[in-house]
């Protein structure tokens, strides 16, 4: 959240615009991906009145709130948040988060209710694209996808990547990654690093 705030409050001064996409990502302002794997473990709706359960419920609620802020406020400053789960239920990726994601993707599901949990209620209007149809060897790696600004759904295929090949690519490109907080600190004048109010139109100002 600090990186979101810092990017939002300094984007106009560093990039000349509050929206990074007006100039595009760069070596100095790289894209940042926040992957929340097995997201249901962070968003689970705990029920109970004992002290421990109440604390867990409060923690889950705060996780949902912060993730929602990242999803909504991060895109304009180049931060992409990806909640991922194999548990297709409403509390795995709460609708308050799912409905503000710019894209949603689901592989095979056993029920339409599970498809709705992943893709939203509109999937009911496109039965041919319902992930319940993605059963069989011909659909290995195939998913139904909804994208912002595009009506309906499309099917996409993700090719299989051998773990050894993935490790080779990761090792070969590791030198391209950088710490975005350190980069921002070098780009930001000392006078802007403390007590600098957020831009009025920045996500952090909401």
Q: For residue 202, is pLDDT > 50?
A: no
Q: What is the mean pLDDT of the chain?
A: 87
Q: Which is higher by pLDDT, 197 or 64?
A: 64
pLDDT at 36 over 90: yes
Which pLDDT score, from 0 to 100, does residue 91 have? Answer: 74
> What SS3 state is found at 12?
helix
Q: Are 160 and 5 in contact (CB under 8 A)?
A: no
Locate tokens 């000392």: which residue? 190
**Residue entry with tokens 């709130």:** 65
pLDDT of residue 155: 96
pLDDT digits (tens, 9 = 90+) for 146-191: 987 888 999 999 988 999 999 999 999 998 888 888 888 887 665 5
The helix (H) or strand (E) run that includes residue 62 is helix 51-74
SS3 content of the chain, % helix, strand, coil (to 5): 50, 10, 40
What is the mean predicted confidence (pLDDT) over 11-22?
Answer: 93
* pLDDT band at residue 63 under the 50/70/90 scheme: very high
How much of the chain exceeds pLDDT 90, in percent?
63
């Amino acid at each position: 959240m600090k990186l979101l705030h810092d990017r939002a409050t300094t984007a106009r001064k560093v990039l000349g615009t509050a929206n990074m996409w007006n100039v595009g990502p760069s070596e100095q302002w790289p894209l940042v991906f926040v992957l929340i794997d097995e997201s249901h473990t962070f968003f689970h709706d705990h029920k109970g009145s004992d002290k421990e359960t109440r604390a867990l419920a409060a923690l889950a609620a705060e996780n949902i709130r912060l993730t929602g802020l990242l999803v909504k406020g991060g895109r304009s400053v180049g931060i992409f948040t990806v909640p991922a789960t194999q548990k297709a239920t409403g509390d795995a990726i709460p609708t308050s988060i799912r409905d503000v994601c710019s894209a949603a993707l689901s592989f095979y599901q056993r029920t339409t209710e599970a498809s709705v949990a992943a893709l939203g209620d509109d999937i009911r209007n496109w039965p041919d694209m319902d992930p319940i149809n993605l059963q069989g060897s011909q659909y290995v790696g195939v998913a139904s996808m909804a994208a912002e600004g595009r009506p309906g759904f499309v099917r996409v295929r993700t090719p299989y990547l051998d773990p050894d090949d993935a490790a080779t690519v990761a090792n070969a490109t590791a030198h391209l990654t950088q710490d975005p907080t350190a980069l921002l600190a070098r780009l930001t004048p000392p006078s802007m690093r403390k007590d600098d109010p957020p831009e009025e139109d920045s996500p952090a100002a909401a």
